[in-house]
Amino acid sequence: MAQEIGTHAVSDRLRQDILAGEIAFGSRLKIAELAARYTTSHMPVREALHQLNGEGLIILEPNRGARVRAVDAAFVRDMFDLRIALEAMLARRAAENITAAQLAEVERLQTEFEARAAAADYQGLLEINRAIHAEINKAAGNLEAINMLERHWGIIVALWGRHGYGAERVAGVISDHRQIILALSQRDAEGAAILATAHAAKAKQQMLLRMGAIAAKVVA
């Protein structure tokens, strides 16, 4: 008998199935059905539902169970608006507080990002991108803000995976990262905040554009 998968694997697969459209937005989610779908017991499914509820992808309602939130343009716009505000504040704090060791680690990660870009390893880019921002945010030292940003990271990765994180976007991301790193190295708090705002705003615009383009193809 095959070993059942755990909570994180159930969360990842359920998230991907929702964002790929295999489980429709607004759908009711039944634990027994999900356990059968993913060949696991009820407990990992319950824990996965709570995890995805924490990300905002699943809504748990008293006495009514779980349902899938609509990850539409309005949800994505709200999610990125929150990220824009938080990342600007964290970049400002990071410029004030970052140590030489932390800055060196950001530089190392950015070099790895560029190597992955050259190899067209777009899945790897997403992982390194997260690490770059995590290191900057750690330097800022605001745990509450960091936790709020982390809440939606799984959704963002899955959305880029669905809608594409292609070569045409990578050059701009590299340029943005290098400008932010320069501002951090110069302890330019306002510059870092402005650059982080623009960087997050570009991501928002690109995601909404890609979602719209795919929606147009579906209608056509």
| Residues 44 and 89 both lie in one domain | no
What is the Cα–Cα distance from 201 to 59, expressed in whole angstroms? Answer: 27
* pLDDT of amino acid 157: 82
Which H or E run includes 60? strand 58-61
CATH number at residue 164: 1.20.120.530
Residue 59 lies in a domain: yes
* pLDDT of amino acid 97: 97
Pairing of the two strands 58-61 and 65-68: antiparallel
Residue 62 lies in a domain: yes
Residue 105 lies in a domain: yes
What tokens does 101 get?
């060791």
| Residues 22 and 121 both lie in one domain | no
| Residues 36 and 77 both lie in one domain | no
Please give the residue range of the domain that contains residue 88.
Answer: 73-219
DSSP 61: E
| Residues 14 and 120 both lie in one domain | no
CATH number at residue 21: 1.10.10.10
* pLDDT of amino acid 1: 40
Domain count within the chain: 2
Q: pLDDT truncated to tens, each residue of the chain (220 aa)?
A: 446 678 889 999 998 898 888 898 889 999 999 999 999 999 999 999 999 998 888 999 887 889 998 888 999 999 999 999 999 999 999 999 999 999 999 999 999 999 999 998 988 888 899 999 999 999 999 999 999 998 888 888 888 887 877 778 899 999 999 999 999 999 999 999 999 999 999 999 999 998 886 666 655 5
| Residues 62 and 80 both lie in one domain | no
| Residues 111 and 25 both lie in one domain | no
* pLDDT of amino acid 6: 85
Residue 194 lies in a domain: yes
| Residues 99 and 169 both lie in one domain | yes
DSSP 24: -
The model's pTM is 0.81
| Residues 89 and 168 both lie in one domain | yes
Place of tokens 């929702």: 18
What is the Cα–Cα distance from 174 to 113, expressed in whole angstroms? Answer: 8
Q: How many residues does the chain have?
A: 220
